[in-house]
Amino acid sequence: MKKKKPKVIVFIDGANMFYSQRDLGWIFDWKKIKKLLDKIFDVKEFNYYTPLKEREERQKKQIERLKRFGFLVYIKAPKVIKGELKANFDVEMSIDIILKIVDGWRGEIVLLSGDSDFSYLVKVLRRRFKRKVFVFSTRRFLSWELNFLADEVYFLEDFKKEIFLKKWLLTKKAKNVIKN
Q: What is the pLDDT of residue 165?
A: 82
Query: 11-28+40-118+131-179: CATH homologous superfamily?
Result: 5'-nuclease (3.40.50.1010)
Task: Note the pLDDT tens digit of each residue in 47-97.
Answer: 999 988 777 777 888 899 999 999 999 998 887 778 776 778 999 999 999
What pLDDT shows up at residue 154? 98
Q: Say what angle helices 119-127 and 90-102 make with each other, to 10 degrees.
A: 10
Each residue's pLDDT tens digit, 27-38: 999 999 999 999
pTM score of the predicted model: 0.89
pLDDT higher than 60, residue 14: yes
Give the separation between CA 165 and CA 168, rounded to whole angstroms. 9
